[in-house]
């Protein structure tokens, strides 16, 4: 028994010695031999474990970066949420700058601070006061048009009455001066009533079409002439038989008023010719450019179509067939489908389209005669 | 040890080895637990010292292959630890969690001492700091995790009643 134990112990020691010698040998291997051995073990026995370790380390990196990534995503989300408001703010500021450049002098740019709740926008606080040159009854305008009038002035701020205020009145007219009236807020108590304007006292002989622009008339000494107030929506039915009342869509929505301009009293006397007309002119010019671009594109398309038809006709004639453009059914074979010409539609849009299509450049007759040689005996 | 016990021991051994290459890098602690040492110690107490030495040698060589510059250092350390654990199993591996924890702690610390001395990469104060600060911390963590796993895997590790 004791002998067996001694034998086993000796065997254990021998194995231990062998293992240690092998380990020392591995430790003493030169680099040129050590690397292939390690690589061989890594690529065989250890390969699945190395793969697991890589995934774990990647998972750890993901966990460590999770907060940073979440913060980045949050920042991006926040920025994207701000982007819309920044765009609209940029748009407003551009308009303000444009108005400022047209006014040139005599205005005070300021911020309108809405102090109370929704649906109660009849007054605003302006961040400019008497120190900046604001005085009582100074008009407040926005790039789109009339906003209100200053009714109280402090040294550093002022209080303005918006056009939605029940006491607000402004003398108004159509730009051509054919219709005059008094514009005031449309107070019906309905959900949208507070955001519309009534044009009262328009002479019965003067009619205004929906969409017509209404501007300030300059009478009364507070408002200069020519500031847009709104556009006509419809005529209102009232009990007054001697005058008409129109409902206007306001040029300025009081809820969207943030950056405005206060006109100084000394500027009012100099007039505002061309300040808002320029805006209309720019719009008209833009419309003209768009229309002319459409016309040019349409003319080019028609010319290309005519040229294609001419080529097809030439090919058909050279092959002994009848050109597609020929409409004489007596001479044309039945298999050739005649070109169906649509009857002219005599509408304003069609006329405008015909006018803008460039009649000079596309003439079927001229195209046909220029490109299709005349054959003796062929029907003309 | 019958076949069932051997199979369960092998499964436990493999679980520890897999944990070493998954949980340990996932946690990434400065004083990490060493599941390979736990696997070696749990195997060593179930086999003869010679077998434990061979297991330690193979396990050490495999782990060294990830750091070719230290090839052999881990093999020496694990061979010694495995042989020692198997030789001293009657003393240490009693059915006592505290003794087991001490066994794990001692095994890991001895391994680190042998490994860092054999590796010869760290010298001087840094070596002392490693052996007297980080290695004991790592050994303590290893011991705690080992005891926890022993508790969890008790049905798998307990000897089958005959």
Task: Closest CB to B53: pick one of A15, A37, A57.
Answer: A15
Residue B99, by phi and psi: left (phi above 0), alpha (psi -120 to 50) or beta? Answer: alpha
Q: Which residue of B has its CA nearest to A12?
A: B50
Number of Cβ within 10 Å of residue A268's Cβ equals 19
Residue A185, by phi and psi: left (phi above 0), alpha (psi -120 to 50) or beta? Answer: beta
Q: How confident is the model at residue B35 (pLDDT cuts 50, 70, 90)?
A: very high
Q: Tell me which chain A residues have a C-beta less than 8 angstroms from the C-beta of B61.
A: 23, 26, 41
Task: Closest CB to B71: pick one of A26, A46, A56.
Answer: A26
The verdict on a CB contact (< 8 Å) between B68 and A34 is: yes
Question: In 3-state terms, what secondary structure has residue A155?
Answer: coil
The verdict on a CB contact (< 8 Å) between B79 and A19 is: yes
Task: Closest CB to B79: pick one of A23, A39, A45.
Answer: A23
From the list A352, A365, A103, A347, the residue with the least C-alpha distance to A227 is A103
Question: In 3-state terms, what secondary structure has residue A34?
Answer: helix
The pLDDT assigned to A356 comes to: 45
Number of Cβ within 10 Å of residue B161's Cβ equals 4
The pLDDT assigned to A337 comes to: 42
Strands (DSSP E) found in chain A: 107-113, 123-126, 139-142, 145-153, 158-162, 170-173, 180-185, 197-203, 213-216, 228-236, 243-250, 259-263
Q: Tell me which chain B residues have a C-beta less than 8 angstroms from the C-beta of A63.
A: 26
Q: Tell me which chain A residues have a C-beta less than 8 angstroms from the C-beta of B51.
A: 15
A126: CB partners within 8 A, 6+ apart? A110, A111, A112, A113, A134, A140, A150, A157, A158, A159, A160, A260, A262
Q: Quote the Cα angle for A263-A267-A272, to 5°.
A: 90
The pLDDT assigned to A304 comes to: 72
Q: Tell me which chain A residues have a C-beta less than 8 angstroms from the C-beta of B48.
A: 8, 12
The pLDDT assigned to A17 comes to: 93
The stretch B9-22 carries a mean pLDDT of 90
From the number of C-beta atoms within 10 Å of its C-beta (0-12, 13-18, 19+), residue A83 rates as exposed
DSSP strand pairing (A123-126 vs A259-263): unpaired
- Say yes or no to pLDDT of B148 above 70: yes
Q: Which residues of chain A from 45 to 64 reach within 8 Å of chain B, CB to CB?
A: 45-46, 49-50, 52-53, 55-57, 59-60, 63
- Say yes or no to pLDDT of B7 above 90: no
Q: What is the pLDDT of residues A60-78, one digit of tens each?
A: 888 888 989 999 999 999 8
Q: Which two tokens stand for residue A314?
A: 């030439």
From the list A235, A239, A229, the residue with the least C-alpha distance to A202 is A235
Cβ of B2 under 8 Å from any chain A Cβ?
no
Cβ of B129 under 8 Å from any chain A Cβ?
no
Cα gap A325→A310, rounded to integer Å: 8
CA A55 to chain centre: 47
Cα gap B28→A63, rounded to integer Å: 11
The pLDDT assigned to B28 comes to: 82
Task: Closest CB to B71: pick one of A20, A29, A57.
Answer: A29
Supply the DSSP symbol for A337.
P
Q: Which two tokens stand for residue A218?
A: 């300059």
Q: Tell me which chain A residues have a C-beta less than 8 angstroms from the C-beta of B118.
A: 27
The verdict on a CB contact (< 8 Å) between A52 and B66 is: no
B53: CB partners within 8 A, 6+ apart? A12, A15, A16, A19, B79, B82, B83, B86
pTM for the full predicted model: 0.48
Query: Going residue by residue through chain A (380 aa), what tens digit of pLDDT does each one get?
Result: 556 566 678 888 999 999 999 999 998 888 888 888 888 888 888 888 888 888 888 888 888 889 899 999 999 998 888 888 888 878 877 877 777 777 777 788 888 887 655 556 788 888 888 888 888 888 998 888 888 999 888 888 888 888 888 888 999 998 888 889 999 888 775 555 558 898 988 888 888 888 889 998 888 778 888 889 999 988 888 776 778 889 999 988 887 788 888 988 777 777 666 666 655 554 455 455 556 666 666 677 777 777 777 776 776 666 665 554 444 444 444 444 444 444 444 444 444 444 444 444 444 444 333 334 444 444 44
Question: In 3-state terms, what secondary structure has residue A135?
Answer: coil
The pLDDT assigned to A328 comes to: 43
Cα gap A131→A302, rounded to integer Å: 65
Domains of chain A and any CATH numbers: 104-272 (2.40.10.350), 283-371 (no CATH)
Task: Closest CB to B26: pick one of A11, A26, A59.
Answer: A59
Contact of A321 with A336, CB cutoff 8 Å = yes
A197: CB partners within 8 A, 6+ apart? A163, A183, A184, A185, A186, A229, A230, A247, A248, A249, A250
The verdict on a CB contact (< 8 Å) between B64 and A38 is: yes
Q: What is the pLDDT of residues A306-351, one digit of tens each?
A: 777 777 677 666 666 555 444 444 444 444 444 444 444 444 444 4
The pLDDT assigned to A72 comes to: 92
The pLDDT assigned to B81 comes to: 94
Cβ of B133 under 8 Å from any chain A Cβ?
no
The residue count of chain A comes to: 380
Cα gap A214→A209, rounded to integer Å: 11
Strand partners, A263: A107
Contact of A28 with B72, CB cutoff 8 Å = yes
Give chain B's mean pLDDT: 87
How far A11 CA sits from the closest chain B CA (Å)? 7
Cα gap B81→B13, rounded to integer Å: 16
Choose from A7, A27, A63 for mutation: most chain B CBs within 10 A. Answer: A27
Cβ of B15 under 8 Å from any chain A Cβ?
no
ipTM of the complex: 0.85
From the list B48, B116, B132, B124, the residue with the least C-alpha distance to B77 is B116
Supply the DSSP symbol for A116.
S
Cβ of A311 under 8 Å from any chain B Cβ?
no
Q: Tell me which chain A residues have a C-beta less than 8 angstroms from the C-beta of B26.
A: 56-57, 59-60, 63
Q: How confident is the model at residue B92 (pLDDT cuts 50, 70, 90)?
A: low
Cβ of A25 under 8 Å from any chain B Cβ?
yes
B50: CB partners within 8 A, 6+ apart? A11, A12, A14, A15, A16, B83
Cβ of B47 under 8 Å from any chain A Cβ?
no
Strand partners, A261: A109, A141
Cα gap B37→B17, rounded to integer Å: 9
The verdict on a CB contact (< 8 Å) between B68 and A24 is: no
Contact of A362 with A354, CB cutoff 8 Å = no
The pLDDT assigned to B160 comes to: 53
DSSP strand pairing (A123-126 vs A158-162): antiparallel
Question: What are the contacts of A111-120 at 24+ separation with CB within 8 A?
Answer: A111/A258, A111/A259, A111/A260, A112/A140, A112/A147, A112/A160, A112/A257, A112/A258, A112/A259, A112/A260, A114/A255, A114/A257, A118/A255, A119/A194
The pLDDT assigned to B114 comes to: 92
Cα gap A184→A84, rounded to integer Å: 33
């Amino acid at each position: 028994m004791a002998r067996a134990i001694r034998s086993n112990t000796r065997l254990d020691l021998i194995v231990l010695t062998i293992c240690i010698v092998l380990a020392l040998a591995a430790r003493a291997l030169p680099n040129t031999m050590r690397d292939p051995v390690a690589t061989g073990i890594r690529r065989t026995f250890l390969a699945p474990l190395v793969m697991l370790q890589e995934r774990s380390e990647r998972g750890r990196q993901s966990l460590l970066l999770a907060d940073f990534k979440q913060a980045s995503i949050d920042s991006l989300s926040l920025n994207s949420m701000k982007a819309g408001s920044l765009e609209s703010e940029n748009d407003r500021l551009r308009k303000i700058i444009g108005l400022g450049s047209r006014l040139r002098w005599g205005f005070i740019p300021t911020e309108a601070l809405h102090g109370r709740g929704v649906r109660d926008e009849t007054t605003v606080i302006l961040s400019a006061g008497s120190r900046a040159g604001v005085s009582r009854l100074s008009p407040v305008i926005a790039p789109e048009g009339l906003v209100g009038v200053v009714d109280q002035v402090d040294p550093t701020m002022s209080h303005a009455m918006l056009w939605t205020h029940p006491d607000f009145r402004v003398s108004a007219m159509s730009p051509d001066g054919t219709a005059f009236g008094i514009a005031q807020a449309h107070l019906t108590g309905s959900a949208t009533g507070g955001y519309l304007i009534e044009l009262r006292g328009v002479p019965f002989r003067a009619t205004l079409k929906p969409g017509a622009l209404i501007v300030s008339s300059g009478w009364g000494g507070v408002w200069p002439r020519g500031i847009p107030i709104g556009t006509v929506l419809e005529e209102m039915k009232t009990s007054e038989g001697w005058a008409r009342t129109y409902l206007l869509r306001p040029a300025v929505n009081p809820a969207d008023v943030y950056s405005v301009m206060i006109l100084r009293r000394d500027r009012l006397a100099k007039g505002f010719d061309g300040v808002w007309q320029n805006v209309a002119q720019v719009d008209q010019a833009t419309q003209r450019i768009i229309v002319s671009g459409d016309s040019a594109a349409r003319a080019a398309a028609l010319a290309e179509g005519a040229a294609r038809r001419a080529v097809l006709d030439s090919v058909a004639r050279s092959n002994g067939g009848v050109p597609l453009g020929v409409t004489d059914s007596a001479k044309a074979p039945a298999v050739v489908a005649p070109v169906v010409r649509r009857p002219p539609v005599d509408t304003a849009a069609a006329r405008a389209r015909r006018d803008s299509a460039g009649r000079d450049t596309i003439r079927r007759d001229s195209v046909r005669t220029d490109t299709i040689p005349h054959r003796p005996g062929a029907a003309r | 040890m019958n076949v069932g016990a051997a199979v369960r021991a092998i499964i436990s051994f493999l679980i520890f080895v897999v944990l070493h290459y998954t949980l340990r890098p996932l946690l990434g602690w400065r004083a990490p637990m060493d599941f390979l040492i736990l696997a070696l110690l749990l195997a060593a107490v179930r086999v003869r010292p010679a077998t434990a030495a061979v297991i330690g040698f193979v396990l050490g060589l495999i782990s060294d292959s990830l750091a070719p510059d230290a090839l052999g250092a881990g093999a020496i350390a694990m061979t010694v630890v495995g042989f020692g654990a198997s030789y001293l199993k009657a003393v240490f591996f009693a059915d006592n969690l505290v003794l087991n924890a001490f066994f794990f702690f001692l095994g890991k610390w001895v391994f680190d001492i042998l490994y860092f001395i054999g590796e010869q990469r760290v010298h001087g104060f840094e070596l002392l700091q490693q052996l007297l600060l980080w290695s004991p911390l790592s050994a303590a963590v290893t011991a705690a995790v080992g005891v926890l796993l022993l508790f969890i895997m008790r049905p798998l590790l307990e000897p089958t009643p005959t």
